[in-house]
Structure 1
Amino acid sequence: MRDPVEPPQTPWDFDLSTVADGEDLVALGGDLRPGTVLAAYRSGVFPMGVGEHGSRPLGWWSPDPRGVLLRGGVHASRSLRKAMRGFEMRADTAFREVVEACADPSREGGWITPEIVDAYAELHALGWAHSIETWQDGELVGGLYGLAIGGLFAGESMFHRARDASKAAVVALADTVFADGDPRRIVDVQWATDHLRSLGVVTVSRQAYLARLQDALRLPPPPFVLPRRPG
C-alpha cells in the first residue's frame, strides 16, 4: 500500500479567522500547485474559478453552510440498491476519464477547466486524488472524483451517462469511506443541492465543519483508494 507523496509546501496562507459568516468566496488568486491545493483543503477551502465556465481569476471557497455526508447518513432506496447490482463499481481505473467527463463543456453550470483537470491529475499521480467509477458492460457510465486527505474525502464533481450511475458512485463512496464505522470521517460535497440532499447530504455551519475537519485529518485515509485496481 503506497502512501500519498507530500509535495512542497505552499507560500499561501488560508486563514479563515477573519471571514464573515455566510461568505462563501474567501480569496482570489494563487496557484494550483499540489501543495497549495492540499493546504487549502486542510484549511476548509477549495479552488474554483470565478470567471465564465470556471475560468480565472482563481477563487478559493469555503461555503457557509457546508454540505456534508456523515456516517450512516446515506439514503439508498431499494430501487437504487437494485440498480447497483447491474453496475460494476471500481476505484482509480479511469481517473482522468472521470474528471474529463465531469468537465464536459456541454454540461450546464460547468466550471472544470483544463487547468483544473491537469491539477487534479497531478494530485492523482501523487496518490491524493481518486475516482469512484460506475461501469456497465465494459463502459464507463458514471462516477465521481475528489481528494482523500486523512479521514476527509472532498468530493469535487460527478457525472452519469446511465440512470442512477452517479448515485451509485455516491453510495459506493459512502460504503467505503465509512466502512470502519469511525464517526469522525466525513465526505465534503461543498454545497448541498437538492439531488445530494436526496442521497442524505446535510448542511453544517462553517465552524462546525472546521471542527469536524480537524478530527478527520488525524485519521488514516480510507483503504478503498489503495492499492489501485488495474484498468
Structure 2
Amino acid sequence: MIEPITPTTPRPVRRAVLTQWWRDLAILHWPVAPHLVAPLLPPGTTPDTRGGVTYAGLIAFEMDRVGPGFGVPFFGRFPEINVRLYSVDGQGRRGVVFCSLEAARLAPVMVGRALGLNYRWARMRMTRTSSGVWKHSSRRIGGSPGRCRLAVEPHDEVADDDLTHWLTDRWGLHVRRVGRSLYVPNEHPPWRIQTASLLELDETLITAAGLSVDSGAPVSVVYASGVPVRFGMPRPV
C-alpha cells in the first residue's frame, strides 16, 4: 500500500546524519509518461503516478548551512539546480530520484558523488530583484553539457492545490549506491509554498539528464522562501 501524501513526515528522523537549509526555491514541473521514467529509477522502485502520469521537476535554489547532524556548517551557501523524478518502493514509501544536480561549490559535489548522487560542478549565478528570483547555471566538468537560465515572480497567494502537495510533500529520496538501492528519509517543518509566474526559461538540463518532456510551459510553477531540513540514516529498499 502506498503511503498517503502528508504535510509532515510519517517517519520522524530520530538522529540526523545531515542537516541543511533550502532557500529561495523556484519549483517547476512537467508531466511525463511513466514508461519513459521507469528506466531511470533505482531497482526496486517504480514511478509514482497521479492520474496516470508522473512528473519531472526542475528545482533551482540556494543550499545553506550544509553539515553533519550536529549542525556544524562546513559547506557554506551556494546555488544548486536539480532535475528530479518521483518514485515509490515496495514498502509504499514515496520519494524523489535525482537525475542530475548542479552545484556551484566543488567540495559538496565530490561528497555527493561519493554518496551515489549525480552531482556536477557548475558555474552558477543567482541574483534577486524586487519582482523575482533569477538563477543561472552552466556546467563546468563531467557529463553532458547543460545550461539553465530562469526567472520566477513569487506571488503572495499560497499554493494549496492537490498537485503542489503531491509534488512537494516528499519525505525521502531513492538512490542507487554501490549496487544497492537505498531510501534516505528526511524531515522539515511544514513550509509555505507560494504561487509564482515564470518570467524566463532557457534550459537543457532536462534533456541532458535523459528525459523528454513537453516543450510547452511547465504545468506547475511555485516558489518557497525556504526551510531547514534533516536527513536520517539510509535504509535498504
| TM-score (ref. length: structure 2) | 0.23
More helix by share: 1
TM norm structure 1: 0.23
Q: Which has the higher strand share?
A: 2
